[in-house]
Amino acid sequence: MKPPAGSAPPAPQVPASPTPALPARHLAALARSAQPVFLVGLSHFARRVAANAILQKWIGADMDSAAPPVDLALLLPAAREDGSPGRSIGIDAVKSFVDRLCLTPYAGPLRAGFVEPASALTIESQNALLRYVEEPTVTSRILFSSRRSDDLIPTLLSRCRVVRLPGSAGDRGEAKWIMNLSGSEETEETVLKLYEILDDAEAVEKILEFRLARKAIDLFDAVSAGKRPSDKSVAAFMDRRIPAADGSALLVEIVLAAVCSNLRHPEPDRRLLDVARRLLVLQAELRYNPSRLLVFSAVQEWLDGLSEGYG
């Protein structure tokens, strides 16, 4: 039927956009769907929290469980021979992943597969996954995770339920969403404070993952004031449950941020300039040759030096 003369033409049809960021209460309904789920967002921490929430609904366990869930298949880039992380997921890894998904669930009614990051999948790997997604077993579910939706080829993307998660560092909405979804005892003010200190989303995510938020802020405040932080605040980053490279790098980043904060004060302690320079050098070296004992000793020595001349 034609519109009446003089009336505005009908608005063009706009394709439905992917599902916007979902609050925690909607994730339960999302988990009930047999359609593959694709978590998209810049924040790795936000994606991991959402993935764990969905996996808990599917198989009653997640990637942070004390024991590896028997009904969870992971498809991740394989580590290289030198121990560094790999960059791609090949066809052989996909075949092994699909074989595991086809097994009969052991602990419950479902078996789940988690793929991260989707950007690591080669075109051949994605096409292999597409064949499985088109004819999945009734007892399996697949969860993809990546920074961008176009990390999946269009034919595979079209078969997924895309969930866009908050992802801008320092955004109050993201901080509140992460805290509500993860059930963390941290407040959104704490998360925003961490973003303010470091301005580095990846570092903030690691601090939250390792439950170091309060220790990180205490460390920053103490060094910013030219005081020596407590031994517990420093030692927390050397906990045996934290990879040495991560703990050392985070410790250096926080101390460096605190030193720089002090230097922005109207009357900064100019002796901290030398400390800042040495920390920058050490931070660069950490990327290539991290050493827990060396870094801990060096940073502790500098922290001792910061306390000289202060009560």
Provide the CA 136 distance to its chain's centre, in angstroms: 28
d(CA 213, CA 197): 11
Nearest to 253 by CA among 272, 275, 280: 280
Do residue 55 and residue 112 come from a single domain?
yes
- In this model, does residue 22 exceed pLDDT 70? no
What does the pLDDT look like over 123-156, one tens digit per residue? Answer: 999 999 999 999 888 999 999 998 888 899 999 9
Parallel, antiparallel or unpaired: strands 72-75 and 111-115: parallel
Residues 160 and 246 in one domain: no
- Which CATH number fits the domain that encloses residue 44? 3.40.50.300
Same domain, residue pair 28 and 158 = yes
Distance between CA atoms of residues 61 and 41, nearest Å? 23
pLDDT at 309: 45
**215-251: per-residue pLDDT in tens?**
899 888 888 887 777 777 788 887 878 887 788 778 8
Residue 71: which domain range?
24-164
Statement to judge: residues 155 and 216 lie in one domain = no
Together in a domain, 156 and 216: no
Out of 164, 194, 219, pick the residue that ends a domain: 164
Burial 33-42 (b: 16+ CB within 10 A, else e): eeebbbbbbe
Q: Could you tell me the pTM of the whole model?
A: 0.57
Q: Minimal CA–CA distance to 263: which of 303, 301, 310, 224?
A: 224
Instruction: Answer whether residue 229 is part of any domain.
Output: yes
In a domain, 249, yes or no: yes
Count of the separate structural domains present in the chain: 2
| Listed residues 164, 199, 222: the one ending a domain | 164
Instruction: Specify whether 148 is located in the same domain as 250.
Output: no
Contacts 24+ apart (CB under 8 A), 195-198: 195/169, 195/170, 196/170, 197/254, 197/257, 197/258, 197/261, 198/253, 198/254, 198/257
Which residues in 24-182 belong to E strands, given as ranges?
37-40, 72-75, 111-115, 140-146, 161-164
- Cis omega before residue 117 (within 30°)? yes
154-193 pLDDT, tens digit each = 999 999 998 887 654 445 556 666 655 555 566 777 877 8
Same domain, 125 and 235: no
